[in-house]
Amino acid sequence: MSARALSDLADVLQNTPWAFRNRLLNPRFDIWQEGVSFSSPATNTYTADQWVINYDGSSGTFAVTKQAHTLGDAENEPASFLRWDQTVAGSGDTYRTIKQKIEGVRSFAGQKCIVSFLAKADSAQAINLNFAQSFGTGGSPSSDVVGTDVPLTLSTSLTKYTAKFTIPSISGKTIGSNLNDYLAVVFKLPINATFTFEVSDVQCEMGVDSTKFEVRPLSYEIELCQRFFEKSYNVTVDPAAVANEGAHGFRAAFTTSLETIQFKTSKRAAPTMVYYNPATGASGSWRDVSAAADRVATSDTIGLNNEIVSIAATVDTNPHRGHWTANARL
């Protein structure tokens, strides 16, 4: 094969949306199934799908929000970015992070990888990038392995940054039996300080050189995220909203009804279910439409592909509606 043909092939592989070079999900921060604005949320809160925040001191005052890019301000025209706006400094922090857990600690094990992203800050802010290998829980798993920080200083202009890592081999390690092991990509933000951090187009790929950002179809990106979190509400409607669109509907057959919820995507593990009333937004009940009454909803059987919900005190033949969320995140 000629040098030109090899170059053309490399370009195709780097730019096809199906190459799966980028192991991160929702890397453009387009999908926010649980809300688009989080005000001083608790540690270990998922904000944009697959992106979780953590800190160990007092929270101070901050907001994590979905923001819209201005047309033309970045290559590949990303639509969205995540903003962390820390307006009152936290206290007692030793870390303040936003990270994504890549399913499976085997990811990049013994390999070199590179993380690239677009970011800016309100001033010249020092951050660090790192990784963590977690061997999960259950049985006697090995202890976490944490890498060495890669320091970066962000400017006030949207800029592409990169950080290179050598992920340790997992030879001789033991993975837990609960199938919740992972490799995390971690942004370590300023601690005990005020700052504004904005980020989009995050890519984690094998190798030592960053390639052009891999743009996947949004519909497919949603399906990838639904392996970990899915809801009956429309994608842009927050759980607990008062809304009928997307609700599961059925006519009761007995005084206690069992209804099967079919997931769009097979889950990573048996999910935690929460049920919502479409008429009130309250959790724990579904609505008897004819009687204008609330009926207690509980899980009967939970699987990877579907779930059976039990609705108490139903009236035979009365129509009912209910919303749900299925959470199988790491």
Q: Are the C-beta atoms of residues 268 and 328 closer than 8 Å to each other?
A: yes
- pLDDT given at position 226: 98
Q: Give the Å distances, CA to CA, from 158 to 63, 174, 203, 321.
A: 20, 41, 16, 46
Residue 33 token pair? 């199934």
- pLDDT given at position 10: 46
Interatomic CA distance for residues 28 and 50, integer angstroms? 11
Assess whether pLDDT exceeds 80 at residue 5: no
Residue 217 token pair? 């179809």
Strand partners, 310: 258, 298
More confident residue, 15 or 292: 292
| Domains of the chain with CATH codes | 3-225 (2.60.120.260), 248-327 (2.60.40)
- pLDDT given at position 4: 52
Question: Which whole number is the average pLDDT over 221-235?
Answer: 97
Assess whether pLDDT exceeds 90 at residue 8: no
Assess whether pLDDT exceeds 80 at residue 185: yes
Per-residue model confidence as pLDDT tens digits over 95-132: 999 999 999 999 999 999 999 999 999 999 999 999 99
Tally of CB atoms within 10 A around 324 = 25
Q: Which helix (H) or strand (E) holds 206?
A: strand 195-206
More confident residue, 211 or 1: 211
Confidence of residue 254 (pLDDT cuts 50, 70, 90): confident
Instruction: Give helix then strand counts, H and E, for the chain.
Output: 2, 21
Closest among 52, 61, 196, 29 to 120, alpha carbons compared? 196
Q: Are the C-beta atoms of residues 24 and 203 closer than 8 Å to each other?
A: yes
- pLDDT given at position 314: 87
- pLDDT given at position 9: 45
- pLDDT given at position 54: 98
- What is the value of pTM for the model shown? 0.92
Residue 326, SS3 per DSSP: strand
Q: Are the C-beta atoms of residues 221 and 25 closer than 8 Å to each other?
A: yes
Write the DSSP string, 3-67: HHHHHHHHHHHHH-TTS-----SSTT----TT-SEEESPPTTEE-STT-EEEESSB--EEEEEEE
